[in-house]
Amino acid sequence: MKVLILGGTTESRALAAALATVQGIETITSLAGRVAEPTLPVGQTRIGGFGGPDALAEWLRTNAIDVVVDATHPFASNIGAHAEQATGATSIPLLVLTRPPWTAGKGDRWTSVASLPDAASAIISGSRVFLTTGRQGVHHFARVDHSWFLVRAIDPPTGPVPPHTTLLLDRGPFDIDHESTMFADHRIDLLITKNSGGEMTRAKLDAARTASVPVLMVDRPPRTGSAPMVFDVASALDWLMNRLRRAL
């Protein structure tokens, strides 16, 4: 059984590593190529976009793919929609592996917003903002000239940045001690982040709760389509093993 993993996440790498030990399954992990030096998974990889759903469908046919697993970032809505269309056109089974979203708990001061522009509009003048929404979304805050930003990303932003910005290039995971020090050293009084879920970047939320710093939480884009969805690597592995057993 030949499996295409649409990857780039911790979960996609864990799934590729698990499948590498399974006899009868061959995997190819596709990465979008948006990070200059991505962490590569075990097994075969391809880097770069497909060119839309029709091109993806043709790639699936040409490469005799039996199953597709969409394990991309929860905010990678374009590739998710393209995967739905391409697998529908080719009658190839699709599984979605995604992280459960974060939920606010006792002591959290979260405000949900629908988009990055909505987050930019909600910033109170004079704020000291810790912005952790990724390099591609920073341009939405470029006109906010009344506040200071600490922008953390793996690679530099691709567009304009706010006029009062300090850029920090770093890659997680980070622990709560690291994040608490970051909040204190930069006198952060507002955190803006996407509801990506997962443990790798959760520590910033724990640090915000401890410091009583409010959070603007950008909601995930709605997921369309009818593909089955699982929320952990073990469940994805079980689903794939069941398909493999039926194929033998």
CATH number for the domain including 211?
Answer: 3.40.50
Question: What distance lies between CA 227 and its chain's CA centroid?
Answer: 19
C-alpha span between 57 and 194 (Å, rounded): 30
Domain shared by 198 and 227, yes or no: no
Residues 120 and 87 in one domain: no
pLDDT value, residue 33: 75
User: Both 55 and 133 in a single domain?
Assistant: no
Longest dimension (CA), the chain: 63
pLDDT given at position 133: 94
Whole-model pTM: value is 0.87
pLDDT of residue 248: 64
pLDDT, residue 246, reads 84
184 and 89 housed in the same domain: no
Domain membership of residue 186 as a residue range: 110-218
Write the CATH number for 10: 3.40.50.720
For residues 87 and 114, is the Cβ–Cβ distance under 8 A?
no
Domain annotation covers residue 17? yes
What total of structural domains would you count in the chain? Answer: 2
> Both 213 and 117 in a single domain?
yes
Say how far apart CA 151 and CA 130 lie, in whole Å: 6
> Are 131 and 182 in the same domain?
yes
Q: Which residues of the chain have pLDDT under 70?
A: 36, 248
Q: In the prediction, which pLDDT does 36 show?
A: 66
Residue 105 lies in a domain: no
Q: What is the pLDDT of residues 180-200, one digit of tens each?
A: 999 999 999 999 999 999 888
List CB contacts of 132: < 8 A, sequence separation 6 or more.
152, 153, 191, 192, 193, 194, 201, 204
